[in-house]
């Protein structure tokens, strides 16, 4: 039975969404096409009706999930962002959490095109943080950008380090607690 263009587009979007979540949970090399398609509820053969290669899907899923990750920085000031971002809840929700924290290390080993997608994601997140952190009288726009870039890098690194420890490790929680406190202190200073 032939499906409509609208249904085909919906199926593709569902595959991209499923892939983005699985990639955040297990990395690019931790998910095969057969498993991905089965998880999405389709056959492996259907994959190539939507994508030329796994790399094509990785790029589209990265773009989609990076845009979703940017919503973490929307409408909140830097302190609210850090309080929510550098937390056990975010750390433990790999599949729905920030793509930067989940996949930056993997992206570093991928194509320049995928790296460019991640660079765009960093810029987008940074722009949202800068927009919600107005410059004080003695700060330039570049000063605010520098501060927000440091804040973002510190926050992403804290999540990555914490995730690298066993889940119930006291060190995993200590990393989050110490980094969150230090970032907040720096933002207030």
- Domain range summary for the chain, segments of one domain joined by +: 5-188
- pLDDT, residue 7, reads 92
Is the per-residue pLDDT at 78 higher than 80? yes
**Mean pLDDT value across residues 68-74:** 87
Of the options 1.10.357.10, 2.160.10.10, 3.90.650.10, 1.10.240.10, the CATH number for the domain spanning 5-188: 1.10.357.10
- Of the chain, the percentage scoring pLDDT greater than 90 comes to 84
- Residues in CB range of 169: below 8 A, 6 or more apart: none
Closest CA to 68 of 20, 12, 104, 26: 20
Is the per-residue pLDDT at 1 higher than 70? no
Q: pLDDT tens across 113-161, in order?
A: 999 999 999 999 999 999 988 778 888 999 999 999 999 999 999 999 9
Say if CB 78 and CB 151 are below 8 A apart. Answer: yes
Q: What is the CA radius of gyration of the chain?
A: 18
- pLDDT, residue 20, reads 96
pTM of the model: 0.90
Closest CA to 105 of 47, 147, 164: 164
């Amino acid at each position: 039975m032939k499906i409509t263009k609208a249904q085909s587009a919906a199926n593709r979007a569902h595959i991209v969404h499923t892939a983005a979540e699985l990639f955040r949970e297990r990395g690019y090399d931790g998910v095969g096409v057969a498993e991905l398609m089965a998880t999405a509820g389709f056959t492996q053969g259907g994959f190539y009706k939507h994508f030329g290669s796994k790399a094509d899907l990785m790029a589209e899923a990265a773009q989609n999930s990076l845009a979703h990750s940017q919503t973490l920085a929307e409408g909140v000031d830097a302190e609210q962002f850090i309080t929510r971002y550098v937390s056990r809840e975010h750390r433990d929700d790999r599949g729905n959490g920030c793509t930067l924290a989940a996949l930056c290390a993997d992206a570093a080993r991928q194509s320049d095109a995928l790296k460019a997608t991640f660079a765009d994601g960093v810029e987008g997140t940074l722009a949202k943080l800068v927009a919600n952190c107005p410059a004080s009288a003695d700060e330039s726009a570049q000063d605010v950008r520098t501060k927000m870039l440091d804040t973002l890098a510190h926050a992403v690194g804290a999540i990555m380090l914490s995730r690298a420890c066993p889940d119930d490790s006291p060190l995993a929680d200590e990393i989050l607690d110490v980094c969150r406190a230090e970032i907040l202190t720096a933002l207030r200073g």
